[in-house]
Structure 1
Amino acid sequence: MEVLPTLPHRHLTTLTLDVDFGGVVAIGATAAGHRGIAPVRGGRFEGARLSGSVAPGHDWFITRADGALVIDVRLTLTTDDGATLHLAYHGTMRAAPEVMAQFRKGVLLPAEDYALHVIARFECGDPRYAWLNDSVVVGIGEQTLVGPIYRLFEIG
């Protein structure tokens, strides 16, 4: 059996979002699944090299026929030292069908009952954060009653 090296990574930031679940716009059934748009009211991100606030944005989501939730989020971030960043991430939340049914009813799920994974991409014109433009970032998420919390990791 070949032993593969561990994927080098380090914590980049923890993103905490405030989502307006009551303001979700239901688009309805589409060819891809049931589409909706959830308003993000704002939030915060905290890390050793990357901290600041989240401006209002949106989470475009699809509930697929297999019950998985596919997310597509785009946000504007402002670092504590004044740089403006664009953050886009997409991913999936997967769990057993009965667990996802509870999630859709607004039930807070035990973290071990689901998997929420994302791939993130940052863009920034500020030279202090130009390194983000080439960063490979993945994350794991956790559901809360206010919105998700993502722990984002830089690969490499």
Structure 2
Amino acid sequence: MSTPLFDDLPAPLTSVQTRPLFVMHLDVKSIVIVGDTPGPFRRVGIVSSGTFAGERVSGQVLDGGSDWQTVRSDGSTLLDVRLILQTDDGTNVTMSYRGIRHGATEVIRRLEKGEEVDPASYYFRINPMFEAPAGKYAWLNQVIAVGVGHRFVYGPVYSVFEIL
């Protein structure tokens, strides 16, 4: 549906173009429950390893990352994640992202019990940012990315896309 506001915009402002950056799988240890705090209900996932693979950048996720989760009263889970990616040629790149996961109560309950659910049955999105040293991967410093996630029985997987 067209609206007068959008009718006058140049084409680059009317849609978002992306290209695949990589697919990433994380190995997360058992979630540490902090519980109800003066703020939110808090839990933390420690990322022990993982892999990422794409046409322009691939490698492994180093041990020591973490996923600080805020479980909101509406059932949504907010993610605040920090990781170190090590490319196949040994360059370390930081990746941080915020995200949100939400869906029907039964779907989320099954997901958190480790059961397989249809990725289309809930919403799981992230917005990664990168810090890379000068050199081959410095282009990552100038990328805005989005990701679509899914929690498989063996851990989370993200398809990450560069916004063009």
Task: Please tell me the residue identity of whatever aligns with 2:47.
Answer: V
Seen in structure 2, the aligned counterparts of structure 1 residues 20 and 51 have a Cα distance that, compared at 3 Å, is same
* Deviation by residue 1:123-150 (Cα, 9 ceiling, x = unmatched): 0113111111110011101111121110
TM-score (norm 1): 0.92
CA distance in 1, matches of 2:132, 2:125: 23
Aligned residue among 86, 111, 126 for 2:134: 126
Is 1:26 the counterpart of 2:54? The answer is no
Gaps of 5+ in 1: none
State the shift of 1:80 in Å.
Answer: 0.6
* 2:102 is aligned with 1:67: no
Residue 31 of structure 1: how far off its partner (Å): 4.2
Q: How many residues align?
A: 154
The match for 1:9 among 6, 9, 18 is 18
Q: TM-score if structure 2 supplies the norm length?
A: 0.88
- Report the Cα distance in structure 1 between the residues aligned to 2:102 and 2:39, rounded to whole angstroms: 16
Deviations 1:61-116 (A, max 9, x none): 11111111111111111101111100001101110122222223222221121111
Equivalences for 1:24-63 in 2 at 5 Å? 24-56=31-63, 57-63=65-71
- Identity, % of aligned pairs? 36
- 1:23-67 CA-to-partner distances (Å, cap 9, x unmatched) read x21111124431011111101000000100001111111111111
List, as ranges, runs of 4+ consecutive aligned residues in structure 1 with deviation greater than 4 Å: none
RMSD: 1.5
